[in-house]
Amino acid sequence: MKYYKMYMDRQGISPEVHEKLLNLEAPKRRPVWTRYGTLAACAALIIGLGVWRLAPEAAPAEDTQNACQFVPDYDSQPCEKSAAAEDLSPAPNPNGAVKDEYKQALDRGTEEAVSRGEPQDNLMADISATPLWEGETFASLAEARQEEAFAPYLPASEPEGYSAFSGTLSYGTLSVFWSRGYDNIQVSVRLAGRRSCNLADPARPETYDLSLYPIPWCDSVPDELREVVSAPAFRAEDMTLSIVEARGHGHDTGGMTYSFSVLHSDGTLVSYRCDGMTAQQVWAMVEETL
């Protein structure tokens, strides 16, 4: 405490600051009306809310119905809506609409396929064999191959070096997936009548051979061939290793990627998308299903 007092005794201010302190003006007093301005505004807001709350309003529908039932000689007012007049019928089942819409889409696809001359057994398949709305997941390839209708078209074994398997069955399509980093393999099997396709002519390489078209394809592929070149399908009896090689192009991971579909004689369509594989590996996967 002694040292504190000694320190404070040595402190001082300059003559200029001392002069300013002596000449300070007294603070100005605010007008009286400003003291109560905020209070008046709050009071006006409270009064306005009170008037709004006390204003008459239309009775809720359920209150109107109760009054009609339990109050003698009660007449509902024009502004009141009777609950008895409401449409309480259940909403339509959205699943049924989805099924109908999907069936219509299939019918349109079938008509388009007929115009392209696709196999009639594809178009006449019984689509009720697998319900369109069926959905299922699989934890392994072996589990997916238990679906007898799809098993003949699925790979017989896991691709070497790939993991993270997943499988799904929905709307008549069973798909299996594998991944290895940014490389993915997808094989999708669509039963007969599920989807139309763009059939490529093996005798016309311009309908499928990607080596004929430099990137960007939007500039190099003719408009009339764009659909078939981007997603061609080949009849199973026409499939060869050379066709698989023609569908390859560079992948951003440094390897190759291949994409195409195979239309089997019973109308089943199998689509392949294979990243990081060689053409020979992809062909081996396809050949075992032919």
- Going from the first residue of the chain to its last (290 residues), give the mean pLDDT of each consecutive group of 10, the final group possibly shorter: 65 73 71 68 77 57 46 48 42 45 49 47 42 76 95 95 92 94 95 82 96 93 95 97 96 93 95 96 96
Phi and psi angles of residue 285, each rounded to the nearest 5 degrees, phi first: -65, -40
What integer pLDDT is reported at residue 2 of this predicted model? 61
What integer pLDDT is reported at residue 47 of this predicted model? 81
Q: Is pTM, for the whole model, over 0.85?
A: no
What integer pLDDT is reported at residue 113 of this predicted model? 47
Q: Is 18 exposed, middle or buried (0-12, 13-18, 19+ CB in 10 A)?
A: exposed
Phi and psi angles of residue 158, each rounded to the nearest 5 degrees, phi first: -70, 140
What integer pLDDT is reported at residue 134 of this predicted model? 59
